[in-house]
Amino acid sequence: MSREQGTRELGSVLDGLMKGRGLAHQHRQIGDARQAWVRAAGDDIASHTRVRSLMDGVLWVDVDSAPLCHRLAAFEKDGLITTLKDALSTAHVTDIRFRLGAL
């Protein structure tokens, strides 16, 4: 059996799987959301947070301190959502959920 008949490079197999399951689009969306988050939140807040995931329009963000988590959820969430909506073309953010967690 020749290489062409029996095997394929791992990269092409993974690309095919990602495309077939819509994961390439999802991967691009989370990457775009992470970049937009840094721009929306600013360097100071971004250094204390990490975008965990984006599912069904909800951006999940880990925050390294309880006071910052509360501040973001109570006072800055609406403005951040507006900024993210304007900045993202591949994903639609309708809500942000902040969660205390290690970065």
Give the CATH class of 9-100.
alpha beta
CA angle 93, 99, 102 (to 5 degrees): 120
Q: Is 95 a residue whose pLDDT tops 90?
A: yes
> Please, are residues 76 and 67 in contact by the beta-carbon 8 Å criterion?
no
What pLDDT is stored for residue 1 in this prediction? 47
Q: Pick from 36, 81, 32: which is nearest to 97 by CA?
A: 81
In angstroms, the CA 83 to CA 103 distance is 23
> Please, are residues 59 and 99 in contact by the beta-carbon 8 Å criterion?
no
pTM as predicted: 0.76
Residue ranges per structural domain of the chain:
9-100
- pLDDT tens-digit readout, 22-80: 566 676 889 999 999 999 999 999 999 999 999 999 999 999 999 999 999 999 999 99
